[in-house]
Amino acid sequence: MAKIKWSKDSIEDLKEICKFISLDSPYYAKVLKDRIFYKLMLFSAILVGARSIFRYLDASFPTYVKRELGPDTHYGTLYSINPFLVIFLVPLFSGVLARFDPYKTITVGAFISTISVFALCIKSAYWTSVLFVVVLSIGEAIY
């Protein structure tokens, strides 16, 4: 087991850090007691799943398309569906969904984006890849 050697400077630095934390600890305690903080943390954790699908679209989807649909498949055409749909759907959905609770709207949009990847489980075909990108774009436009 490694031994830690504390110098005078490191002990003084540790004392300063502890002093700094103790000054702010009432604020940390107040935030940790608040139920809204935990709701925000859960909400952020849910959105991580939805955002990871977009990372999949950039990183792994080209490899999937090349392996499953062949090297001649035009991945750029599939990828371009997303921005094209988002440009037209966002103004449409924002007007329609403005009267709903934003938290619920974002949750529904994230859910739709997250389930979009299951379209690829139906069959290895060009139309399922298009379906994946279209459903993903609809979810993105909602949230």
Q: How far is 10 from 107, CA to CA, in rounded Å?
A: 47
Q: How far is 46 from 51, CA to CA, in rounded Å?
A: 9
Q: How far is 28 from 134, CA to CA, in rounded Å?
A: 43
pLDDT tens sequence for the chain (143 residues): 556 666 777 777 777 777 777 777 777 778 778 888 888 888 888 788 788 887 877 888 888 888 888 888 888 888 889 889 999 999 999 888 889 988 888 888 888 988 888 988 898 888 998 999 999 999 989 98
Indicate the pTM of the whole model: 0.72
Q: Which pair of structure tokens corresponds to residue 121?
A: 């489980």
